Amino acid sequence: MKKPNQEQNQIILDVIDKIAPRYSFGYYEVDDIKQEAYLLSVEAFQKYDESRPLENFISKHLSNRLKTLRRDKYQRPGSSDESKKMLMDLSEYTILPGLHPSYSPEIEERLSTKEALEFVMENLPPSLRNDFMRLANGVTIQSYKKAALFDRIKEILDEDW
C-alpha cells in the first residue's frame, strides 16, 4: 500500500483546509468533513501518478468525492441547495403511501417503528437496499424495481416480523 510521505501529507492537509469549508452541512461541521476528506485522500493516493502535481490530483478528487457524499447520502430530494440538510434518522422515513398495488396501510403501520425498518433493511438483499433508501427519501424508482421491493418487504414482514 502506497503511503504519502511527510511533504505529500502536508500538501494533502493544505488542500483539505481549503476545500472542507465548502462542503460542511447538517450535522457535518468543517472538522467532520476534514476527517472524511483525509480518509478519501489517503485512499485516492493509491491511484496517484507521481509525474503529475499532487495538489491538483487531490483537489479534483476531493471535490468530486465530497460532492457525491453530500448529494447521494445526505441531501433530501426536492430541497434547495441553499438550505442545510440534516441527516435523517431511519425512523423518520415515510415509506410507500399508495405507490404500488402491493402497498397496503398494514405495511406502513408495520414499518412505523425504527426496529421494524432496521429489521427490513437487514433482511433485504443488497440489490434492493439502495432502492429502499431511495424510495424512503422520496426519490422515484422504476416501477419494476418498486414492485420487486414491495413484494420482498411484504415477504419479510409476513415471514419474520
Quick check: is 18 in a domain? yes
Q: Mention every residue, 6+ apart, whose C-beta is less than 8 A from residue 159.
A: none
One domain for residues 24 and 64: yes
86 or 9: which carries more pLDDT confidence?
Answer: 9
What's the pLDDT tens digit per position in 41-94? 989 988 998 899 999 999 999 999 988 877 766 645 455 544 444 444 444 444
> How many domains are there within the chain?
2
Q: Are residues 60 and 101 in the same domain?
A: no
Residue found by looking up cell 511533504 in the block: 7
- Give pLDDT, residue 160: 57
Check whether residue 53 and residue 97 sit in a common domain: no
Q: How confident is the model at residue 13 (pLDDT cuts 50, 70, 90)?
A: very high
Q: Which of 74, 103, 124 is the last residue of a domain?
A: 74
Q: Is 31 in the same domain as 62?
A: yes
Q: Are residues 115 and 66 in the same domain?
A: no
- Percent of the chain, pLDDT > 90? 19
From 47, 74, 101, give the residue that closes a domain. Answer: 74
Residue 84 lies in a domain: no
Q: pLDDT value at position 90?
A: 42
Q: Which has more confidence, 149 or 107?
A: 149
Q: 12: domain range?
A: 6-74
| pLDDT of amino acid 98 | 42
On the question of pLDDT at 122 being above 80, the answer is: yes
Q: What is the average per-residue pLDDT within 10-32? A: 86
Split at pLDDT 50, 70, 90, the class of 10 is very high
Give a yes or no: residue 107 inside a domain.
Answer: yes
What is residue 15's predicted lDDT score, i.e. its pLDDT? Answer: 94
81 part of a folded domain: no
Q: Name the domain boundary from 74, 102, 129.
A: 74
Would residue 65 count as lying in a domain? yes
Q: What is the pLDDT of residue 108?
A: 61
Are 10 and 65 in the same domain?
yes
pLDDT of 135 higher than 80: no
